[in-house]
Amino acid sequence: MIPSVLVPISHKELLQLFRINSDKGDKIQEFEQKFSEYVRCEQAIATSSGIAALYTLLKASGLRRGDEIVVPAYTCESVPRLVMDMGLRINFVDIDKETFNISIEDLNSKISRKTKAIIAIHMFGNPCEMDEIMEIASNYNAVVIEDSAQCIGAEYKGKKTGTIGDAAFFSLNEGKPITTMGGGFIVTNDKRVAEKSRKIIDNFKEFNILKKIGVVSRLYAYYMLKNQFYYDLIYSMIESRRNNRRDKLKLANNLKFKFRYTDLQASIGLIQLSNLEKFNNVRIKNAKFLMDHLSIEGVHIPKISKQSKPIFLRFPLWFENITKEKRDNLIRELRESGIDAPVAYPNSLPKFFLSLDGFPNTEEVIIKTITLPVHPYVKENDLEKAVSIIKKFIGA
């Protein structure tokens, strides 16, 4: 089966595993410099995860317990989980179901003088309307933090995502555009925020040898996933892990991520970054194929702004006339044909965390959406198969 998200790992990355005992920091500095140059931002700071980067940014931006933060109602559960664990107050905002990004209309209606920050999430690698978000934030003196975890390399008006807001964070976990088996980045042009961020990270723990061995084992296992037979063998474990992770995120996690990045991961990252444009070109090509062949009645493909250049980490679709049961049947058909096309985000986060309703677009897409793989291991015949199954399913 073709995994829903996968980043190519070569023998070059595997050879870096011999750096397991090296932590001089030289590779981290080099990676930070290269990443900074790539996104065209003055400051890039490596972290042990995307969540560690967000935690650090919230602290460095001066947010305090009880401050209000706007978070979209549809995204990864770990973002609001962190916000709540830090004692911050969430103001959930609905999404635009045509883009899966934050609804500008709902943001306008819910932001207030109490709002201290907006987390602008570029869902699935499709940039959100940053000009409008920045204008709204400016009117209320709120900080804008871009969640660029899914869109390394995407652009908005010629600028890389992550460089438009006051600051941004990226993720380098396994299901992202490039991976170092955990890791993340803070980027900002604000030297004050960068200095505070580095001071916070300096107080994080260093990876011990067991955690480094974990990176090594994860990299090798991930390398094996390009073999579809191996993915089939462990699919049930992956599905169970997805569900268990969400269950755990419903509870406080006590901020158990305060570790520093390593030279081992940075050396992997340098190789991955050098291949990012190649990886993204394939994602863009595969997404275009799906857009060209699935622009049919009853199927909604993501709306793309003329001023944006998305990369599509995965390709979301939502269906007009479909129930949860029918959606699950479609996912099963695709899986039986060798394509993993999961829901991705099954929860309305206001309901999941706070038992709140009243977010109609989010509540609709969590029932009607699937995501198709578009990563570099996906071939045109795989896409043709997916298109055929979907068209047959909806009677097109």
| Contact indicator for 183, 265 with CB cutoff of 8 Å | yes
Q: pLDDT tens track of the chain, all 396 residues?
A: 899 999 999 999 998 877 666 667 789 999 999 999 999 999 999 999 999 999 999 999 999 999 999 999 999 999 999 999 999 999 999 999 999 999 999 999 999 999 999 999 999 999 999 999 999 999 999 999 999 999 999 999 999 999 999 999 999 999 999 999 999 999 999 999 999 999 999 999 887 777 778 888 889 888 888 887 878 888 888 777 777 777 777 776 666 778 899 999 999 999 999 999 999 999 999 999 999 999 999 999 999 999 999 999 999 999 998 999 999 999 999 999 999 999 989 999 999 999 999 999 999 999 999 999 999 999 999 999 999 999 999 886
Residue 233 contacts by C-beta under 8 Å, 6 or more apart in sequence? Answer: none
| Contact indicator for 22, 263 with CB cutoff of 8 Å | yes
Residue 225 contacts by C-beta under 8 Å, 6 or more apart in sequence? Answer: 3, 6, 231
| Contact indicator for 48, 261 with CB cutoff of 8 Å | yes
Rounded CA gap, 265 and 274, in Å? 14
Which tokens go with 283? 């994602």
Amino acid symbol at 274: S
Which tokens go with 175? 């299901």
HSE value, Cβ hemisphere, 13 Å, CA-based, for 147: 28
HSE value, Cβ hemisphere, 13 Å, CA-based, for 42: 11
120-145 core/surface letters (b: 16 or more CB in 10 A; e: else): bbbbbbbbbbbeebbebbeeeebbbb
The dihedrals phi and psi of 259, each to the nearest 5 degrees, come to -125, 160
The strand pair at 143-147 and 167-171 is best described as parallel
Range 240-249 contact pairs with CB under 8 angstroms and sequence separation of 24 or more: 242/342, 246/77, 246/346, 246/347, 249/77, 249/78, 249/81
